[in-house]
Structure formats: C-alpha cells, structure tokens
Amino acid sequence: MGKGYNTIAFYPDKCDGCNDCVKTCSYLHTETVEPAHSRIQIVADTIPGSYGIAQCRQCGEPRCVMDCPAKALAKDEDSGVIRWDETRCVNCQLCTLACSYAGITANPITGKVMKCDYCDGDPGCVKACKPGALEWVTAADIFNKWGELEDLFVPGLSACLGCNSELLIRHSLRRIGPNTVVATPPGCIPGVGTVGVNGLTGTKTPVFHPLLTNTASMLAGARRYYNRIGRDVTMLALAGDGGTADVGFQSLSGAAERGEQMIYICVDNEGYMNTGVQRSSTTPFGAWTSTTPVGANLRGKTRDAKYLPVIMLMHNCEYVATASLAFMEDYYAKLDKALQASKKGMAYIHVFSPCPTGWRFPPNQLIEIGRKAVEANLVPLWEYSLEEGRLEFTHPIDNPLPVKEFLSLIGKYRHLNESEIDHIQKTSEQRIEILTSFQHQRANQ
C-alpha cells in the first residue's frame, strides 16, 4: 500500500537568494563549489527578491522512471528517492525530456545527468539554508505509522468540507488508543457523528454526550470508578471552546485543581460554530460572528479573546500544551506526553482549529491557515509540564510574519482597518512576552 516519504519543502517567501544550498550541494557531491554541479537550483525572478526552485520532487509516479529505456532510474520504496544508477545509464537523456521540473538535468561539466538524492536522508541544502526557506519535512513517518493503527472513528460523518475536527478526532483516537472513554459535550464534535445515531456510536470506544457544563466532572467520576475497580482506562474529553472556556469552565477548573486524571482536548474554533457562528470568550478581537456583526454600529468583536491555556497552566495541571494540526509531528509528541501525564493528573491540550464555514475561507486552505497562524505568532506552540516547572516553545518563531498575512486569508477579518490590525499585532506580541516569562519560571523560583 501507499507509503509517505520525507521530503524537502521550499518556502519562496523566506528565500533570500544566497545560494548557500547550491554551493553546499555541489560541495557535498563533488567536493568543489561549482553551481553547475548542484542538484538544487535557485532561480531569480524578474521581480527582485523573489525566487523559485528547480529540484527533483521525487514524484510518486515518476515520468523519468517510466521513460528510462535502460532501467537506470528507479524509485526506492523505502526512502521514496528516485535513484539514478550510473552503471546502467546510457546517457540518452530521455529523462530530462520526461521531467517537467528540471529535477533531473544534464550536467554541462560531466556531460551526464544528475539529480537530488536527499543526501541519504540528511539533505545538506536544508542544513545550509539560514533563512529557513528549505525544510526537511519528516511528518510522513506519522502517516506511515498512522496506517498501522486502528481507526476508531466511523468512516462516514457529516462534518463540513475541510473540517479540522475530523482530522483531529481520527489522529487523536488512533494515537490514544481503544482503551479510552470519550466525552464530547454539545458542539461540532458530537454534531458530526461522534456520539452516533439511533443507539449506535460513531467511535469504536465508549463515548458519551455530557451536558455543556459538566464534561470534566463526569470524566472525573468515571475515572475514579475505574481506579476503584483497578482498571487503567484513559479519560478523553473532546470539547469545543464554548464547552471549555465558557459554560463548561467551572467543572474543568475544579477537575484541574483537584488533579483529576484525564486528557482534556479543547478544539478551539473561536466560537459556537455548531449553532450558527455565535461569539465565545475565545473569539478574537475584531472577528465577525453572527452575534458580533459588522455594520454601522459594530465592527466585529470588541473584546480580546480569553487565553485559556495560561489559565490552565495556573491550575497546576500535570501537562498543558497548545497545538495546531498544521504541525502534526508536534501534536503527536504532545499527545504522547498528555497520555503519560493523564496517569497522574490533568493533561490539557488547547488545539487551534480553523473553521472554513464559520471563519469564511476555502476548505482547501485549512492547513495553510493553521500554519500561517503559528508563523505569525498568533498561535504560539508551547508546552508546560508540572514536573519541569517551566514553559517551552516547541516551534519558536524567530521572524514572525506580520499578523496581516494571516488575517487577510480569512473572511471574518475582512473588514479590519489598519488600527484594528495594529491592535491584534500588539496583543500577539504582548502574549509572547507573557509566555516568555513562564519560560524562566523555575529559574526564578
């Protein structure tokens, strides 16, 4: 069956044209610095400061392999790299005609073809790239392992196109495993089919539908019961921001303070999306919702969002983290830690969850928007464990994008003027400052 492979990603907006990747590639393959030997080429645009890339994509259905008459090219099933076997090559160069990307090219110095080999899984160009325009993406491993785990969620469901929640439920349940009781208070997650219909559940684990107010206390009770009969069963809440930060907060706060053993995942789509896009306490400043409309008297939400993850940190939870599914490796690492922490007490993960329907953006932009939010520092990714006693950024952003680049992708922010955008920019910078102070908490103690 299909397999995912590690790959090199190129972010044109970060490339400064320094050509260090080109020089490094040449050096690693020939021990000379000669651009003509490089398997990666950076192409300068007519627009100054804008760059493109020519490099092998290691295609899934490679046309170069298909059109090689000498069987000198083959896709390595383990690494996904298309290998060129010099001993078989007759140098007909049909591959250069087959490739649409200049991924396999004739080297003018050697007269032979050459192509990227990913430096046997440790690409030198990526390491040489100071601005971070090249990234060695290893998320494929997660998806390969994912396929080996049982999907604990129904195959069909009624989520909106491009919904973040389906991705979240399938990944989280697979990773946390079947030895779990799931609680899904009113919101999108039960709404799309998790609790099921007509007496059939949507998960292959026990699942129940608490009230909006009592998710954490019901799970606390269930866990105490299992403890009493000597069974180690994981309690998992999959709750929206309304059920977590608003009306469900009392029971959550109590359970966190008491150190109840559970994983509580807040799927924060910044509003009551299931019932018609009403504002919640996590709806950001300026955002349009059906109860914070944009018109003559109001320009979206007038108050800043409540930043719940820090509030949870102050409850002395065993583990608190923020996450975005655009950074799946990061999320998986946090699920693992949460699972361990939930043996001792409360593990809380706050997942930033863009919503195409309620936020007004095309469904295919879900991951891109998730990524941009992190890169603009609006959604800093961090974790805190009680044991360590300090906060750590898991994906620190050195040169954040202006928040405008994120806001402009989303319909609910379309009306914002410069001063409103400025406000959001400042709020985000202040938040980073606050979080940074928690980085040193233990040192200060």
Partner 1 sequence: MQDKNKISKTQYLIIGSSHAGLAALEAIRLQDENGTITMVTREACLPYSPTILPYVISGEVAAESIHLRDQSYFDRLSVTFKSGSAVTGINLDQKWVSLASGEKINYEKLLLATGADAAIPSFPGIDSIPYQVVRTLEDALKLRQSFQKAKSAIVIGAGLIAMHTAENLAQSGLQATLIIRRQVSLFAYFDGAAARMIESIFSDHGVTLAIGSGVSKISPSDDGGCQVTLESGSVISADLLLLATGVRPRINYLEGSDIQVDRGILVNENMQASVKDVWAAGDVAQAPGFFDAGKTINATLPNASVQGRIAGMDMVKDPALKPYLGSSGLNVFNFFGHHGFSLGLATVTESTDDVEVNTVYLPSSQRYQKLVFKNNRLVGVSAINARLDPGILRELIQRQVDLADVKEGFTSAPLETGRLLMSKLWR
38 part of the interface to partner 1, by CB under 8 A? no
Do residues 374 and 406 lie in contact, with contact meaning Cβ atoms separated by under 8 Å?
A: no
96 part of the interface to partner 1, by CB under 8 A? yes
Packing angle of the helix pair 215-228, 249-258 (nearest 10 deg): 40
The residues facing 67 across adjacent strands are none
Q: How many residues bind partner 1 (CB under 8 A)?
A: 33
Q: What element of type H or E holds 236?
A: strand 234-240
147 part of the interface to partner 1, by CB under 8 A? no
Considering only residues 42 through 71, tell me which ones interact with partner 1, judged by CB under 8 A: 43-46, 52-54, 61, 63, 66-67, 69-71
Q: Which stretch binds partner 1 (CB under 8 A): 89-97, 136-144, 282-290, 390-398?
A: 89-97
Closest contact distance (angstroms) between CB of 142 and partner 1 is 24
φ/ψ (deg, to 5) at 363: -55, -30
Shortest CA distance to 408 belongs to which of 418, 398, 399, 400? Answer: 418
Nearer CB in complex with partner 1: 46/419? 46
284 vs 306: CA distance, rounded Å: 8
Nearer CB in complex with partner 1: 59/222? 59
Nearer CB in complex with partner 1: 44/434? 44
101 part of the interface to partner 1, by CB under 8 A? yes
102 part of the interface to partner 1, by CB under 8 A? yes
88 part of the interface to partner 1, by CB under 8 A? yes
Closest contact distance (angstroms) between CB of 320 and partner 1 is 39
109 part of the interface to partner 1, by CB under 8 A? no
Which single residue is written with the structure tokens 């684990």? 205
DSSP 434: H
Binding mask 239-278 for partner 1 (x = CB under 8 A): ----------------------------------------
Nearer CB in complex with partner 1: 100/364? 100
Longest dimension (CA), the chain: 75
105 part of the interface to partner 1, by CB under 8 A? yes
Buried b (16+ CB within 10 A) or exposed e, 73-96: bebeeebbbbebeeeebeeeebbb
Do residues 298 and 281 lie in contact, with contact meaning Cβ atoms separated by under 8 Å?
A: no
Shortest CA distance to 213 belongs to which of 182, 243, 173, 168? Answer: 243
- Residues lying near partner 1 in the complex (CB under 8 A): 12, 41, 43-46, 52-54, 61, 63, 66-67, 69-71, 88, 90-94, 96-102, 105-106, 108, 111
